[in-house]
Amino acid sequence: MKSNSFWKLSAWKLKDVILASLIAVLFAFICFAVVHFVAFTLTPLLAPVGFGDLAMEFVFGIFFMSAVFAPYIIRKPGVATIVGTMTGVVQILMGSAFAATLLISAFVQGLGSEAAFAVFRYKKFNILTVILASLGATITSFILAWYRGSWSEVIPTIVILRFVIRALSACLFSGIISKLLADRLAKAGVLKSYPIGQIRSGNEPISD
Amino acid sequence: MFNFLSKINPFYKFVFIIVSSTILTFLHFLWLNVAVFGICLLLLFLGAPSKQFLKALKFLIPVSILAFSLFMSGIHFGVDASSELGSVSFESTQNGLNMSTRVFAFASLGLLFALTTDSHALIKSMQKEAKLPRKFAYGMLCAVNLLPYMKQEYQHARLAFLVRGERIHFFSLKPIFSMLVHCFQWSETLSIAMFSKGFYEDGSI
């Protein structure tokens, strides 16, 4: 049974907050590296044919990873949104040039991922939930990008192509890879005091 | 030059940047984009040390690449572009310009914030002004301060694998994984350490 306080922010323990922040910092670092790597390699190569901005779509799933990885471990309401937003904040503080866009998109991605976990009322955490969360983040981030990039001025074929590439990338990186990573970490035994580790070891999760 | 930008309350600056970039998301005017970019650069030039301004110019290099690629895709795939691929019309150039200047506008807004704000000051002011719960403020401070240790841990893990004679290249996952294992162990240890030093999740010390 999930108690009433499960849904409140006060149910977060300090160790959850620290782990959430750690995940945000780690993935912010990875996102920062990936954005700049792609912007300097793949984008200029594809730019002359007009496909330059498609390059970013291939790695877009990496930007959703924290918003799927963290709730899969901590399993509390709000984790996806908060960690997603934190990842944006940390990237801004690192001095990412894409900062002002980042924060809102980070928040929106978090919301999209959160929706998928909320549909299952934070009880089911399997490959299906994780993939749905990735797709949720894809959809919300895509709607935002539509307005931001003024994509109504681009022919629909390109927009659909972008969506498909982004969705596939999200399923691969934030869906499959982040689940595998979390499962391996749980197997290594470092997440024993978090819900994912307790369920794995066969104990009932400790309810507060 | 003067240094008035870093003296503004970080939280208010933060809210200003978020609000203005949200408004910009839904407005699509070429001249607005150019104006925002110009104003932000001017503010950075006047209100921040010249070192930060040069840094901003450096950060604009990847942005320019992205903007160029958006410009090209606007030209090639714009809705108004004439049916023949590769022919450049006035409308499609306009599209391309609109899309690429937007990137610059967003980037300059972000840089205006990032280059004049200290992360500790931001978290502290968030706790004061936005009533961020204590455990979130200190938890985030904890993680931000751990960053150099994570880097050190990664280098140690890398070295350990090299000593064992394993081939490690830039994208190897093994050292990253063992770094993650250590980092995640810290999160619990740290929270215990903070409690033992008299930190309470709610209420004052």
Taking only the tens place, the pLDDT of each residue in A168-202 is 999 999 889 999 989 988 888 888 878 887 776 55
3-class secondary-structure state, position A53: coil
Angstrom distance (rounded) from CA B27 to CA B16: 17
A34 touches chain B (CB under 8 A): no
Contact criterion met (CB below 8 Å) for B72 and A53: no
Q: What is the pLDDT of residue B139?
A: 85
- Where helices occur in chain B by DSSP H, the ranges are 10-26, 30-47, 50-77, 90-114, 119-129, 134-163, 174-196
Instruction: Establish if A26 touches chain B: CB-CB under 8 angstroms.
Output: yes
Closest Cα in chain B, distance from residue A116 (Å) = 24
A146 touches B: beta carbon within 8 Å: no
Tell me what pLDDT residue A40 has.
81
For residue A93, list chain B residues with Cβ-Cβ distance below 8 A. 114, 117, 119, 122, 144
- Which pLDDT tens digit goes with each residue over A18-74? 889 999 988 888 888 888 888 888 777 777 776 767 788 888 889 899 999 999 998
- pLDDT value of residue A112: 92
Token pair belonging to A23: 């995940």
Convert the pLDDT of each residue in B56-99 to its tens digit: 888 888 888 888 887 887 777 766 544 455 555 677 777 788 88
B138 near B191, Cβ under 8 Å? no
Q: How far is A144 from A149, CA to CA, in rounded Å?
A: 9
Query: Which of B205, B200, B204 is closest to B135 using CA atoms?
Result: B200
Q: pTM for the full model?
A: 0.84
pLDDT, average across residues A134-160:
84
3-class SS of residue B113: helix
Q: Establish whether this prediction's ipTM goes over 0.85.
A: no
Distance from CA of B6 to the nearest CA of A (A): 13
Q: Choose among B21, B197, B51, B201: nearest CA to B115.
A: B51
| Average pLDDT of the residues in B101-118 | 86
Q: Which amino acid is at A71?
A: P
The model's confidence at residue A203, banded by pLDDT at 50, 70 and 90, is: low
